[in-house]
A and B are shown apart, each in its own frame.
Chain A
């Protein structure tokens, strides 16, 4: 429902990739962790990365809202055109699409929510209080802790203060196999960001979901 697992994205989760080089990319949306290592030229959905027209212009962020149509997952813009340096962020608000995974590849590179690398970002909004120990299933030394505190507002004023706090979040950065910080503390409803600067690709998974 609101599980911490970058391989299975639900409502309140986002996955973002920055496309630094121009070229043709294709991406697929699948359920569960069954993501292909490479996406063929006729598979999935295209993202055309053009050369940057105005070198001085700031990079843009593009949103792809994932919805379920029958047995298929469809992005809101099936054929996306962006410029080099832009970021694409996948998310969903459709309960029927919950549990999706993003995977894609271009010339000489690949990406996926099951294997964060090269400045890819995963975000998760925590809906239930508790202590969450997360780790990469394939590299257990890459790990951290999120402490989610409960909130029980006793007045409208307290409720408004809590709602305002949701605009703030916390973050982990993973670089050369090291996680900083080791632990973050938030309140229920707030969002945590994970950014993987490098590596072969890691997943962010609640330790309780792993055998």
Chain B
């Protein structure tokens, strides 16, 4: 019989998981990805929360509807000459002199845009109990890459992107009468497919290889803290840790451990 047996049902395991999600904190990444026809540089931060746990013996912890919250800042540049009509100031004559026809070369602009949203996913995780240095860890490790389901909010993000485009173009002289049309064309060029493709590219690394830590204790486990000069700290050595899912009348996460004085 192991020295220690600790068991948690799915409800308690869900609490352990939520604590692990919180402990993971915010993960950040940056890089470049395609946003429709444009190349965009981005930085993104992600946190995880929620989800419910189903325990499947011998080793599977399914997490259903886990929330991936993300916050993205991206920047892409576009040559407006590709999206705006050719425009020239015509010749105009006053006081007996005439101005020349002057054609306007639209600039290449940089569009910064930030947005945050939430995507859910469901995935199987396996239990991994191991010693890392002098610390015992039990992680739940994702199996494969889950499908990220982007919801109806994506259309709202496109609308906000259109607003960001308008803002970036507003100060360009002579653009006013062309602005609405240009924004519509650019947003359509990106489209829902371009935006979800971009989001999939930048968010998949967060879930690929995802690992939540549900147990972390030093090999030298403190039993009693020091209580003074004649009462030193009391420790035991954890010599083994294992984790599995066991099924009886209900499925449980069972952690076993052995100790030595």
Contact = CB atoms under 8 A, between A and B. Distances in A.
Judge A-B direct contact (beta carbons within 8 Å). yes
A61 B105 contact: no
B39 interface: no
Given A91-B100, A91-B102, A95-B105, A121 B95 contact: yes
Interface in B105-142: 105, 107
Given A95-B105, A169-B92, A61 B97 contact: yes
Interface string A148-192: 001111000001001100111101000000000000000011010
A151 B176 contact: yes
Q: For the complex, would chain A's binding face be called helix, strand, loop or mixed by DSSP majority?
A: mixed
B92 A128 contact: no
Contacts of A169: 92, 94
A169 to B, nearest CB: 5
B89 interface: yes
A195 interface: yes
Contacts of A123: 92, 94, 99
A1 interface: yes
A166 B179 CA distance: 18
Interface residues of B, number: 25
Query: Chain B's interface: helix, strand, loop or mixed, by majority?
Result: loop
A11 interface: yes
A184 B159 CA distance: 37
Contact of B176 (A16, A89, A128, A195): A128
Interface string A112-145: 0000000001010101110000000000000000
B105 A191 contact: no
Q: Which 7 A-B pairs have the closest CB atoms?
A: A127-B173, A2-B173, A127-B174, A193-B94, A151-B177, A169-B92, A167-B90
Interface of A: 1-2, 11-12, 14, 16, 61, 63, 65, 87, 89, 91, 93, 95, 121, 123, 125, 127-129, 150-153, 159, 162-163, 166-169, 171, 188-189, 191, 193, 195
Given A95-B107, A168-B92, 19 more contacts: A12-B104, A12-B173, A14-B100, A63-B100, A89-B100, A91-B99, A93-B102, A93-B103, A121-B95, A125-B102, A128-B171, A128-B176, A129-B176, A150-B176, A159-B177, A171-B94, A189-B177, A191-B99, A193-B95
6 contacts: A12-B173, A123-B99, A128-B171, A150-B176, A152-B180, A153-B177
